[in-house]
Chain A
Amino acid sequence: MALLQILISGLATGAIYALVAVGFMLLWQTSQTINFAQGEFVMLPAFFVLGAMKFGGMPFWLAIVVGLLLSLIVLGVLFKVLLVDPMLRHGVLPLVISTIALALFFKEGVKTWYAAEAQPFPALWSNDNLEIGGAVISVQNLVIIVVAVTAVLALQWFLARTRTGRCMQATAQNPALARILGVRVERMILYTFLINAALVALASFLISPIYLAKFSNGETLGMAAFIAAIVGGFNQVRGAIAGGLLLGVVDNLAASYISTQYRGAIPLFLLIAVILFRPQGLLGRAEERSV
């Protein structure tokens, strides 16, 4: 029964990774942005909420709404307009450097202007545990799995079934062609940034009650999302979902059954193996290469 517990908590962690990985991948697809601040993007919305409650005296539910809006503005619109747009023409690397600096900015900003210590974050639902056939399963974990998986599936439905979603996919695959076909490419790219902002905010609200809100939370999370996106397949939403879930489970299994010292090494080996032997990812299609 310990195995079931590990699996459930692994899936919960993995569902969070998946949320963050999907956003990471969308940004890469539509604007070649490798966002090294993605982890900090997850750390920050919780502090928007805490700040709204502390300085604005708002009730929790209103603070959540404000937190989401602030995320959309800061991590979506401002990030795109101020940082990504000016640098896009100059290749991937200057933007990578900027996102590294942005990560530092967010971390130090929260540490300096809010708090250096971990902050408790109100839970959206009960902290109880369920006992199913001898296994103790936390309700929070179950809710995380359900909410995160629903969100990602809804996103996939949106991308595949709605007109806007298909325009976004067209933009991701071939912006020049999409433009000729009358897709408003700029707007689609903006939507991607907004979706990423919403996904990281959701992830933030889901994990902060469990792990507390702390300025340094982004470091491991960003890396995990990053690995999940690559392992699953860099060019597909369902790849990123599978990658996230797999990574969460493997991580939890490794922590329980393999030395805790080298627990961190397993995702890395997974990453290297996938890149070298199956660079399109576990679920991805091979990218066409022309000579």
Chain B
Amino acid sequence: MRLAGRPGAVFLALVAIALIVAPMGLKPHGVYLISMWAVMSIAAIGLNLTLGYAGQISLAQAAFVGIGAYCSAILTAKFGWPFGGAFALAAVLCFAIGWLLGYPALRVQHHYLAFVTLAFTTLVYLVLRNEEKWTGGTYGISGIPRPSLFGWSTKGGPAFYYLCLFVLAVVSWLTWRLVRSPWGRAFMALRENPLRASSLGVDTRRYTLMAFAIGSALGGVAGALYAPLVEYIDPTPFALGLSLNLLLMVIVGGSGYFFGPYLGAIVSVLLPEWLRVTDSLYLIIYAVAVMLLMVVCPSGLLGLAERLLKPARKEPVARAAAKAAP
């Protein structure tokens, strides 16, 4: 989505300021939640690249968050690595595994690809649960340290939040550049018409693998932050449920829109918390809210916004088409 000039820039600046001052007005649990929002946004941005821009349905993003989290947890908690090294290795490792996972995408597409990646997520979960020697099995890994960077300790909630926010900002800037580069254009060409793309010289093979690798690396980055954020990890959060949740964030926010994942992460991470006032009903209400949202705007929140902001220009065509189909 193009930023609508000056009003858009002003709005973004306001959001940035709000994010920076937010911890001052929040209780520790609130700071934890917005940190989690930042971490999940990063993972969803990765999935949005793979799915939203390049059109490759992946249900493997939870596995990469898991691999990133365990990589950073094992290296820092068990081997005493500095956070920076563990963080970088998590990203590189997920990039490599994501690249390999891209190969099935060269053979199969659409729902079959979704099934393969779904199986991959569950396999990774089984490995995390069963390889006790490395992962601690169902007991998990505790005492994951929050790092000190250049003499600045991130042990406190707000300090670690700023680290997450900083990483989110860097990731956002890099992704913004990527989607506006020829690579971003090639990704969208893959999504819309791979056959035509390849006849125009787009190496669909290479770009498909890259879309998977980069999206997965961002999953790893999110995981590397997740581990020190929660300070204790076990395999449960990285099961299929998280993959489905990340898919939900991308689709609900607006698949293929740059700002979709940020909104989707709000819906998925913060909305259930806000609904907690309804007590035991909060997940039920949440589920109904998601279904309603999908019925009302299947192209996600930003798709709805675009439709509302661009009045009626293409609407007649869409309506005529809807009428023509019985």
Q: Which residues of A contact B (CB under 8 A)?
A: 28, 34, 36, 82-83, 86-87, 89-98, 100-102, 104-105, 108-109, 112, 179, 223, 226, 230, 261-262, 264-265, 268-269, 271-272, 275-276, 279, 291
A contact residues around B252 at 8 Å (CB): 97
In the complex, how many angstroms separate the beta carbon of B40 from the nearest chain A beta carbon? 16
Residues of A close to B57: CB separation below 8 A: 93
Q: 14 additional contacts, CB 8 Å, given A94-B251, A97-B251, A279-B112?
A: A34-B111, A86-B295, A87-B295, A91-B298, A92-B110, A105-B287, A108-B283, A112-B281, A262-B126, A275-B115, A275-B116, A279-B107, A279-B108, A291-B195
In Å, the complex CA distance between A105 and B294 comes to 15
| Consensus secondary structure, chain A interface | helix
> Lowest 5 A-B CB distances belong to which pairs?
A90-B298, A105-B287, A94-B298, A101-B290, A268-B119
Residues of B at under 8 Å CB distance from A?
Answer: 57, 104, 107-108, 110-112, 114-116, 119-120, 122-123, 126, 129-130, 195, 240, 244, 247-248, 251-252, 255, 280-281, 283-284, 286-288, 290-291, 294-295, 298-299, 322, 325-326
Pair B287/A89 contact, Cβ less than 8 Å: no
**Contacting residue for A261 out of B110, B115, B130, CB 8 A:** B130
Smallest CB gap from B129: residue in A: A261
| Alpha-carbon distance between A136 and B90 when the two chains are bound, in angstroms | 51
Distance between Cα atoms of A34 and B280 in the complex (Å): 29
Contacts of A101 in B (CB 8 A): 248, 286-288, 290-291, 294
Q: Whole-angstrom distance between the alpha carbons of A114 and B322 in the complex?
A: 41
Contacts of A291 in B (CB 8 A): 195
Instruction: Tell me the complex Cα distance, A275–B298, Å.
Output: 28
Q: In the complex, are the beta carbons of B244 and A100 less than 8 A apart?
A: yes
CB distance from B249 to the nearest CB of A (A): 10
Docked pose: A291 CA to B129 CA in angstroms:
44
- Cβ of B119: which chain A residues have Cβ within 8 Å of it? 268-269, 271-272
Q: Is the CB of A105 within 8 A of B298?
A: no
A98 proximity list for chain B (CB < 8 A): 290-291, 294-295
Assuming the contacts A36-B244, A100-B248, A264-B122, asked whether A275 and B108 have C-beta atoms less than 8 A apart, the reply is yes
Chain B neighbourhood of A275, CB < 8 A = 104, 108, 112, 115-116
A56 to chain B, nearest CB (A): 23
Residues from chain B with a CB closer than 8 A to the CB of A91 are 298
Cβ-defined partner of A92 (8 Å) among B108, B111, B126, B286: B111
With a cutoff of 8 Å between Cβ atoms, the chain B residues found around residue A28 in the complex are: 111
Contact residues in A for B120 (Cβ distance below 8 Å): 272
For the A-B complex, the count of residue pairs with Cβ-Cβ distances under 8 Å equals 106
Whether the Cβ atoms of A90 and B299 lie closer than 8 Å is yes
On whether the beta carbons of B298 and A87 are closer than 8 Å, the reply is yes
Complex Cα–Cα for A83 and B325 (A): 19
Knowing A101-B290, A108-B283, say if A264 contacts B111 (CB, 8 Å): no
Q: Which residues from A are CB-within-8-Å of B240? A: 223
Give complex CA distance A109, B112 in Å: 31
Are the CB atoms of B281 and A105 closer together than 8 Å? no
* A94–B294 CB distance below 8 A: yes
- A262 near B291 with CB under 8 A, answer no
Considering the complex, give the chain A residue whose CB is closest to the CB of B107: A276
For residue A242, give the distance in angstroms from its CB to the closest CB of chain B. 18
Q: Which residues of B contact A83 (CB under 8 A)?
A: 291, 295
Please measure, in the bound complex, the distance between the C-alpha atom of A82 and the C-alpha atom of B325, giving whole angstroms: 19
Q: How far is the CA of A151 from the CA of B263 in the complex (A)?
A: 46
A105 contacts B284, CB within 8 Å? yes
The answer for the CA separation of A276 and B115 in the assembled complex, in Å, is 11
Contacting residues, chain B, for A105 (C-beta < 8 A): 284, 287-288, 291
Residues of chain A within 8 A (CB-CB) of B130 are: 261-262
Question: Closest approach, in angstroms, between the C-beta of A187 and any C-beta of chain B?
Answer: 13
Chain A CB within 10 A, most for which of B255, B283, B299: B283
Q: Least Cβ distance of A108 to chain B in Å?
A: 4
Closest to A95 in B: B294
Contacts of B291 in A (CB 8 A): 83, 98, 101-102, 105
Whole-angstrom CA separation of A91 from B55 in the bound complex: 13
Indicate if the CB atoms of B283 and A104 lie closer than 8 Å.
yes
> For B110, B130, B291, which residue has the most chain A Cβ atoms within 10 angstroms?
B291
User: How far apart are the CA atoms of A112 and B123 in the complex, in Å?
Assistant: 31
Q: A102-B291, A275-B108 are in contact. Are A264 and B126 (CB under 8 A)?
A: yes
A265 with B286: CB separation less than 8 A = no
